[in-house]
Structure 1
Amino acid sequence: MKLQPFKIVLLVCLAVFFTSCDAVKRVGENEHLLVNNTILVNNKKVNTERINNLLYQAPNRKLLGIPLRLHIYNTARPNIDSIVNEKINRNPKRKKRLENFLSKKQLDNYLQAKIDFNSWLKKTGEAPVIVNEVKTKKSINQLKAYYFNNGWFNVKASAKTDTLGNKKARVDYTVTTGKAYFVDSLTTSIDSPILDSLYKTQAHKSLLKKEQYKTVTFDNELERITEHFKNSGVYHFSQEYIYFEMDSIENNQKVKVDLQIKNRQVRKQDSAYRIPFKIYNVKDVNIFTTSTYENRNKTITDTVSYNGYNLFSIGKMRFKPKALTDAVFITPNSIFKDISKTRSYRHLSNLKTFKYPDIEYIENPDTTLTANIYLSPLKKFKFGFSAEVSQSDIQTVGFALNPSILMRNVFRGAETLELSAIGSIGASKDASNDGDPFFDINEIGANLRLTIPRLFFPFNTEKIIPKHMFPSTIISLAMSSQTNIGLDKQTVTGAFNYKWIPNKTVTNRLDVFNAQYVRNLNTGNYFNVYETSYDNLNSIAQDLNYNTDNTDLSIPDQTNLFINDVLSGNTSLASTSDDYQTISAISERKDRLTENNLIFSSNYYYTQDRRENLFDETFSIFRFKLELAGNIFSAASSAFGLQKNDNDQYEFFNVAFSQYVKTEFDYIRHWDLGKKNVLAARGFVGIAIPYGNSTNIPFSKSFFAGGTNDNRAWTAYSLGPGRSGSNNEFNEANLKLAFSFENRFNVFGDVNAALFIDVGNIWNVLDDVEDDKSTFTSLSSLKDIAIGSGFGIRYDFGFAVARLDLGFKTYNPALETNRWFSNYNFGKAVYNIGINYPF
C-alpha cells in the first residue's frame, strides 16, 4: 500500500510531536506524576470500574496509550498574561511600530487572542495528576468504608507509593477483608402501638433477609418503612425516628438486628417530650383557583362545593369543579397519604393550565388536617409564530411560515386546544416551463389538536384506569396540500386516542381510530420523481428502438404507452425475458405509489422506559406496537352488500381501503462501563401482513432500511429488499430485522467517539411480490442480512449531540460474489450526519 507524501509527513510530524512531549513538563520538584494505581484485595489484583472509582486519584486518561490531554495541557504556558505583556513591553519601539501598523485596538485583540488560546489549551487539556498523600489516605478510607458497608467488618487497608524515576510514581493499595458477616435475626422495638400494628401488616415485605450484610439494604428498608407509615396516615413521621441496633457475633460472623422506632418528639418552648404517633385524616380540601400575586389582597367572591371539595375564586369560577377535583388526589374525609400530594403536583402540572401549584397542610386541633391547594392560572391564549428559509434538492430557495395558537380551558374542563398552520412557497430547480412563476412550489396545511385531561368516554372508567394513571384523551385533525412537490398530494388525517401511565416506567396509548386519506393529484409526474425507474424504462425502449428516431421517452405519454405495449405483448419482448420482468415490476410499483390511499386503523402502543433520569446510562427501553387496519370498513362493506371493483376490492369514496395487520418490537439496552464508556445495543423486528381488501402494504406503512439511525453503511431507502440490490429511489418492504451494537467512549472534554456494527435488512413476505431475491421464504433468507460497521465522532453541546458516523459495507448481500469487505474503504463509505444518538 502506497502512502501519499502528505500522509507520510503528517505521520512523521505526529510521531515527533508525541515522542518529544515531556509528560512531566509541568511537574514540580519533589512532585511525582501518578502513572498507575494497583489494588490488591486478599492478594488478588482487582481492576473493576466500581473499585477503581473509589480512589480519589486516577492517572491521566490515555488515548491509544498516549496521555493526549496531558500533552495538550503541557503545551500551554503558565502565567501567560505576564509573559505576553513582558514580551511586548520589552521593546517600546517595536510595540509602537505594531500599534502604528495594526492600530492599538487590533494589537490588544491579537495579544488577547494569544491569552485566550492558551486558556483553551488548559481547558481542553488535563493537568498532570500529582501523587497526593492526603488523597491517598482518603482513598484508603474509601476502600475500607466500601468493604465495611458490604459486610466485611474487619477490613484493613494500606497504600504504598513507589517512585519510578523521572518524577513518576505509582500507588499500590492493599486490602484484607477478613470474613464476611451475615444478618442472622431481626427483632423489633416499636414504642407507638399504632406504628407497631402498621409495621406488622407489611412485615413480610421487609428487605432484611438472612444474607450478607449490606448497608444499602438497610437504607432501602428505612425508606420502605418511612414510605409505608407516611402513606398510612402518620403525618409527623420521618426517617430520623428509625434506628437499627446491631450486635455482631465475632466467632461465627453473625449480625443480630433490632429495629427500633421511637415515639414522636414534640418541642414546646424550651422543653421536649415524646408522645405516641397518631393517625391523621384529611378533613377539608380547599382549592384556590386564582392564587396569583396580583390577587393576594383581593376578596374571594365565588365559592363552590363539589364532592366534599371547596373551590374558591376571585371573580366568577372559570373551571368546572370536576376538572380540578379529578386532578387532585387528596380526598376530603380520608386518611392522610403523602403520595397523594406528589400525584396532585404532577397531575395539576400536566394540565398545562396552571403554573406549578402550591400545596400545604394545616394541622387542626382534633388530629385532622386541612389541605390548601393554591393554583395560579396561565393566560388563556398563547400565540406562536416562526419563519424558515430553506434550500433542498428540489428547490433553489423556500420560505415557510408557521403560526400557532394555544387555547387553555376551552370548555372549562382544563382542556387545551392547539391550532397550527403551515404555509410555504419555493422556487423549483427544474421548472418545466420558462413562463411559469418563479415561486412555483407551495404547500399549505392546518392542524387541530384537542387534549382532554381524562378519558372521554360515555361510561365511568375510574375502576379500569384510575386517575393516578394520568389518563388523557387526544383528538386531532390535520389537512395539507402540495403543489409541484412530488405527486402533489392532498392529505387528510384524523385520530382519537387514549393515553395512560400506570407507573413511572410504563406508558400505554390506544388509538381508537386513526384515519388517513391521501390523494395524488399529479400522477403524470411519477417518472420525474422516480428517475431511476425512468432511466431503466428508457434504456429498454432505446434497445428496442421503440422511438424510430431513438429519442427518449416523453413523460408521461410515451412512458405509459410503452409500458402498456410491453405488457400487452405489442413488442418483441417475451414475457419470460428479464427486460419484460423489469418493466412489469416498474409498472406494479408505479401503480402502487400513485394510487390513492384510505387507511382506517386502530393502534396500541406499549412503552417501558427504565431510565432513571437524563444522565442514566444503564437502562433498557422496550416498545411494542400493534396496528389493525380496514376491519371496520370490511365488515361494513359485507354488511351493506357493496360491490367490489375490477381488482376484487371494496371501495369507500371511490378509493380501495387498506386492510392489514402490523406489529413492531423495539428493544434498547445500555450498559455504563464507567469513565464515559457506554455499550449500547438495539434490536428491532417488524412485520406488516396484508389481507382481505389488500395484497400489499401502503407505502407510508412499509419499512425501509439504511440511514443515520439504521444501518449506517447504506443511505436511507437504499438497502434491500433482500439481496435484490434494487436501484429504486425508495426501497421498501413489509418485513424488517435490524440490530445495532455501539461502544461509545470519551476522547477528551466534550468530544466523544464510537465504534459500531449495524446488522439487518428488509424483505417482502406474504404480499404480491414474487421476486425470490426480494422475498423472505425461509430461515435461509437470513443469509441476505446486510452488515455495516464503522466509527463516529460526536460533540456534546449539553442540550444536544452533533454526530458524524462513517459506515462501511462489511457484508453486502446484493453482490453475487465477494460479499465480505468489498470496497471497504473511505471512498465507498457512507457519511451520516445526525443530531443526538441513533438509539
Structure 2
Amino acid sequence: MKNKFNIYCKYFLASGVTVAVISCSNTKFLKDGQMLYTGAEVKIESDSLTKKEKSELQSALEENLTPKPNSTFLGLRPKLYAYNTTEEPKKEKGLKYWLKYKFGEEPVLLGDVDREFNKDIIVNYSENKGYFNAKAKYDTVSKNKKAQVIYTLNPGARYLISNVNFPQDSTLINTEIQNLKTKTLLKSGNPFDLDVIKNERQRIDDGLKDKGFYYFSPDNIIVQADSTVTKEPKVELIVKLKDNTPKLATEQFTIDKVVVFPNYNLRDAKKGKYNIPMNPDSLKGYEYNDIYVVDPDKKFKPRIFDRALYFNKGDIYNRKDHNLSLNRLISLGVFKFVKNDFVVSDSLNHKFDAYYVLTPRELQSLRLEALGRTNSANYAGSELNLNWTQRNFFRGAEQFKASVYGAFDVQMGGPADAENIFRAGTNVQLSIPRIVAPFRFNSSSAFVPRTNIQLGYEFQNRTTLYTLNTFNASFGYQWKENVRKEHELKVIDISLIDPANVTQKYMDKFPQNPYLERVVEQQLIFGPTYSYTYSTTMLPRKNTFYYKGMLDLAGNITGLVTGANAKEGKEKTIFGVPFSQYAKIENDIRFYHKFNEKTSFASRLIAGVAIPYGNSEHIPFSRQFFVGGSNSIRAFRARTLGPGSYDPRPQRAEGFVFDQSGDVKLELNAEYRANLYKFLNVAAFVDAGNIWLINDDIDDKGVNTRPGGKFSKEFLSEIAVGAGVGLRLDFSILVLRLDLAMPLRVPYYEKGDRWTFDRINFGDSSWRKDNLILNIAIGYPF
C-alpha cells in the first residue's frame, strides 16, 4: 500500500511540473515588448446594488468585451501551445498545417485589445440597462509577459419606470394598440431596460399582425423616455406610433382570393409561368371550398389544402393562421419547398390575394442500405435494407413505405458452433395525414395529425438454438399539440411469435434455466399502447429537458371477460395460443445543460416496470427490459447484466451466454461532453443501473434458477456502476462514437465487496481483456 502511495505521489508531482512548464512555455515565444493577453475583469463600485445585481451586470459586461483571450483547459492553453511549437508548414494541408492553423490558436496579445472601445461598450451597455450616469475607467496589470485589463464601473443609480403612457386617438390601429396595452411588458417600478423596450415593440407588432395589419413593423413604434418628470432617478415612458409611419402599415387587410399551385418547379419559374401577381381566373384551375387550385394534372386531392390552410375568403389577415398554414403544408411531408405571397388586389377596400406556391418532393424513392456492425457481445455482422417510399399514395399526401431486409451476426472468437444469428423480414406502413375515426378530431396545431397502419413479418434463426417467426400489425394515431408535445396512441398493437426448429442443445438448458423455455413459447400479444413526449431540446436554451413516457396494456379486457387466471391453472387461449396479459410503464427523462458553445452536460434517467397478471405469470421475453451495451451501461456487454445480483459466470464457464431480461429497470447515465476541434468531440461518462424480476424463476423442482434476481428492498445494493471516456466524430449527418468503459461496481460480487477500485490494474493484460469494454456505435447514446 505504501509503494502505491509513493507511486501516486510521483505521478502528482510529475503532473504538477508538467502543468507549470507548459503554462510558462507559451510566453517564451513572444517578441520583445509583446505581452500575452489573459483576459479582462470588470469591477463594479456601487453601494446601492445587491450582490446578485452586481454579479449579473458583471457577467453581462465581461461577455461583451473583445477580444477573447486564448482558450484554456484545466488552466493550460494547449491550443496556443500547439500553435507556438509547430513549425511553419510548407503546404496548406497535412498534420503540421492542421496542428498550427486548425487546432492551434494564434496568440492574443495586449496590443490587440482596444481598451477605449471596451470602456465605451461598458458605459453604453450600462446606460441601456438604466444606469444613465455610468462612468468607467480601466487599468492594465502585467507580470511575466502576461497582461490582464481591469475595468472599473461606477454605474450610479439605476433609473426606474415611473409611468407608462399609451396616447389615444380615433384611428383603428390605435384602438387595437389600446387593446394590447393591458399586457405590456413595461411595468411601473421596474428598471429601465432597452431589451425589454425592444421586446415590447415586438409584442405590439405581433398583436397587430394578428389583427390584419400585415404591413406593420416594430420600427413603426417609438418609445420616448422622459427623465425630467421628477428629481428622483425615474423615467416616464411614452409608447406611440412614429409620425412618419407609412399609411399602408396602418391599414387592416382581409383575404380576397386563396390560390394554390401544388405542382410548381424551377423550370416553370425560368419560363415565367405562374409569376406572382397574376390573374387566377386566367389559369387552368378549379375552385374547391373558396380555394382556387391550379393543378392541371390533378396530382393532389384538393381537400388536403382545405384541411391545411387556415385562411378563408373574407377573413381578416392573422399571422398565427399564416404561420400555421405554412407549417401544416410542410408537415404533410410531400412538399420540398413552400412559398407564400400576399398581393394587394383591392387597395381601396384593403384586400389582398394569398398565393401558395408548392414544390413537391420526388413522390417515389427507392433506397438501398448496406450496413456493417459490431457490438459489445462479440458479434459482427452486416445488414441489407431495401426501402421504397411513395409520398402521395392515394393523391392525398398519404405516405406508403415498404421495406425488405436481411441481416446476419456472427459471434467472433467463440466456439465452432457459436450462436450465429440470421434475420430477414418485411414491413409496410401507410401514414394518412388526418385522423381516420368515427369521431371528429379538430386540431389547431401546426403539425398535421396522422393515422398510421403497419404490418410486418420477421424470420429469425439462431443457428444452433431455434427459429422464431414474428408477425405484427398495428393501427393508431400520432399527433403533436405543438413543437414540444407529441402523442402516439396505437389503438391495437398485435404481435404473434411462433417458434420452430428448437434444437435439443437448447432444450437441454430448460431444467436449469426455465426462462429460456419462455423465449420459444408461442406468444400472442395484443392491446393498446400510448406514449407521450415532451421536449425542449430544439429550443436555444442553456437548460433543456426531454421526457418520454410509455404505457403498454396487453390482453386486459380479454383477460377480464374470460376470467383468465394462469396461477390457478385457468389459462385462456385464442386459436390455441395463450395470450399475454400485463401492464407495463416506462419513463425516459433527460436533462441537458450547456456551459458554453463547446462544453455541455447530459444526463438520463430510465425507470420502468412491467407486471404480469391474469392470463400471464411472466412478461413475454420480447417485452422485457434489458441493460448493458453501447446505449446503456457501457461497462457491461449488451444484455449480459442482471437481473439483480444474479451471477452469470457459471453460464459463461459452460460457454453458454444468453440475454438477461427483467421486469423492473432503473438506469442513470451522466456525460460531460466537450468539443476539441470542429467534428472532434470527447466525453467522460458514468453509467449506473440494473434490471430485476417481479417473480423468482422457479423450476419444476422448486429451485430458484436465478437467485438474487427478484426486486427487493436491497435493490440499491445491486446497482451496477461503470465509467469511461469516449471519442465522437460528429459529421452532422453521421456521428461515429467510440466509448471505452470499465466496471466500477459489479452487483454479482459478494455483498460488501462490489466496488472494484482496488482491483483496477491497467498494466495487467488479462484485467484489460475482462474489464475494458470498447463500444462502437452510430449516434449519441442519449
Partner of 1:541: none
Identity fraction in percent: 29
Partner of 1:830: 773
Partner of 2:279: none
Distance 1:645 1:679, change over 3 A: closer
2:659 counterpart of 1:730: yes
2:412 counterpart of 1:416: no
Partner of 2:558: 633
Give the distance between the partners of 2:409 and 2:548, measured in 1 at CA.
38
Partner of 2:527: 601
2:447 counterpart of 1:472: no
Partner of 1:765: 694
**CA-to-partner distance for each residue in 1:472-509, whole Å, 9 max, x for gaps?**
11111111213445632211111222111112211111
| Structure (1 or 2) with the larger CA radius of gyration | 1
SS in 2 for 1:761: strand
**Aligned to 1:357, which of 338, 355, 380?**
338
- The one-letter code matched in structure 1 to 2:710 is T
Alignment of 1:85-100 (within 5 A): none
CA positional deviation for 1:391: 7.4
Give the distance between the partners of 1:114 and 1:284, measured in 2 at CA.
58
CA positional deviation for 1:448: 0.7
CA positional deviation for 1:744: 2.6
CA positional deviation for 1:595: 1.3
**Aligned to 1:287, which of 239, 260, 280?**
260
**CA-to-partner distance for each residue in 1:49-87, whole Å, 9 max, x for gaps?**
655422213332233332221111111234x54xxxxxx
CA positional deviation for 1:200: 3.5
Partner of 1:714: 636
**CA-to-partner distance for each residue in 1:225-261, whole Å, 9 max, x for gaps?**
1111101111221111111111236743222111112
Distance 1:699 1:409, change over 3 A: same
The worse-fitting range, judged by mean Cα deviation, of 25-34 and 680-689 is: 25-34
Residues 376, 773 of structure 2: 8 Å contact kept: no
2:744 counterpart of 1:810: yes
Give the distance between the partners of 2:383 and 2:730, measured in 1 at CA.
30
Distance 1:302 1:597, change over 3 A: farther
Partner of 1:69: 79
**CA-to-partner distance for each residue in 1:264-319, whole Å, 9 max, x for gaps?**
844xxxxxxx478232211221112333344557798753322221222224x232
2:40 counterpart of 1:37: yes
CA positional deviation for 1:660: 1.2
SS in 2 for 1:117: helix
Give the distance between the partners of 1:793 and 1:389, measured in 2 at CA.
20
SS in 1 for 2:25: coil
Alignment of 1:103-182 (within 5 A): 117-132=96-111, 134-165=113-144, 167-182=145-160
Partner of 1:573: none
Give the distance between the partners of 1:765 and 1:394, measured in 2 at CA.
26
CA positional deviation for 1:679: 2.6
CA positional deviation for 1:263: 6.8
Residues 696, 767 of structure 1: 8 Å contact kept: no
Gaps of 5+ in 1: 82-111, 267-273, 435-439, 528-555, 564-582
Residues 739, 760 of structure 1: 8 Å contact kept: yes
Distance 1:264 1:647, change over 3 A: farther
SS in 1 for 2:157: coil
Partner of 1:196: 174
Alignment of 1:86-485 (within 5 A): 117-132=96-111, 134-165=113-144, 167-189=145-167, 193-209=171-187, 210-248=189-227, 251-262=231-242, 265-266=245-246, 274=247, 277-295=250-268, 302-315=284-297, 317-365=298-346, 366-388=349-371, 400-424=383-407, 443-462=423-442, 465-466=443-444, 468-485=446-463
CA positional deviation for 1:425: 6.8
Residues 21, 71 of structure 1: 8 Å contact kept: no
Alignment of 1:674-823 (within 5 A): 674=596, 676-727=598-649, 729-747=658-676, 750-765=679-694, 773-778=708-713, 780-816=714-750, 817-820=752-755, 821-823=757-759
Give the distance between the partners of 2:591 and 2:604, measured in 1 at CA.
6
* CA RMSD in angstroms, aligned pairs only: 3.8
Give the distance between the partners of 1:394 and 1:737, measured in 2 at CA.
21
Distance 1:742 1:148, change over 3 A: farther
- The one-letter code matched in structure 2 to 1:823 is R
Give the distance between the partners of 1:215 and 1:314, measured in 2 at CA.
53
SS in 1 for 2:178: helix
- The one-letter code matched in structure 1 to 2:520 is T
CA positional deviation for 1:12: 9.9
**CA-to-partner distance for each residue in 1:376-407, whole Å, 9 max, x for gaps?**
33444222223456678999996654322222
- The one-letter code matched in structure 2 to 1:619 is T
Give the distance between the partners of 1:322 and 1:64, measured in 2 at CA.
61
**Aligned to 1:60, which of 67, 70, 80?**
70
Give the distance between the partners of 2:679 and 2:531, measured in 1 at CA.
36
Distance 1:141 1:739, change over 3 A: farther
CA positional deviation for 1:685: 1.6
Residues 130, 160 of structure 2: 8 Å contact kept: yes
- The one-letter code matched in structure 2 to 1:732 is S
Residues 376, 629 of structure 2: 8 Å contact kept: no
How many pairs does the alignment contain?
735
2:441 counterpart of 1:519: no
Give the distance between the partners of 2:263 and 2:251, measured in 1 at CA.
34
CA positional deviation for 1:823: 2.5
Distance 1:399 1:699, change over 3 A: closer
Distance 1:507 1:139, change over 3 A: farther
**Aligned to 2:31, which of 25, 28, 33?**
28
Residues 737, 776 of structure 2: 8 Å contact kept: yes
Give the distance between the partners of 2:24 and 2:143, measured in 1 at CA.
19
Distance 1:680 1:514, change over 3 A: same
Distance 1:808 1:380, change over 3 A: closer
Distance 1:391 1:170, change over 3 A: closer
Partner of 1:661: 583
- The one-letter code matched in structure 1 to 2:290 is G
Alignment of 1:6-21 (within 5 A): 15=18, 18=21
SS in 2 for 1:148: helix
Residues 40, 46 of structure 1: 8 Å contact kept: no
**CA-to-partner distance for each residue in 1:414-451, whole Å, 9 max, x for gaps?**
212111112457889899999xxxxx975432111111
Residues 326, 467 of structure 1: 8 Å contact kept: no
**CA-to-partner distance for each residue in 1:325-377, whole Å, 9 max, x for gaps?**
21222222211112323222222222232331222111122211211222233
Give the distance between the partners of 2:16 and 2:139, measured in 1 at CA.
39
- The one-letter code matched in structure 2 to 1:422 is Y
Residues 696, 709 of structure 2: 8 Å contact kept: no
Partner of 1:530: none
Give the distance between the partners of 1:284 and 1:71, measured in 2 at CA.
66
Residues 193, 276 of structure 1: 8 Å contact kept: no
Give the distance between the partners of 2:584 and 2:139, measured in 1 at CA.
64
- The one-letter code matched in structure 2 to 1:150 is K
TM-score, normalised on structure 1? 0.79
SS in 2 for 1:22: helix
Give the distance between the partners of 2:601 and 2:98, measured in 1 at CA.
33
Distance 1:750 1:413, change over 3 A: closer
Residues 526, 590 of structure 1: 8 Å contact kept: no
Partner of 1:84: none
Residues 35, 169 of structure 1: 8 Å contact kept: yes
Partner of 1:546: none
TM-score, normalised on structure 2? 0.84
Give the distance between the partners of 1:20 and 1:58, measured in 2 at CA.
18
Give the distance between the partners of 1:766 and 1:131, measured in 2 at CA.
70
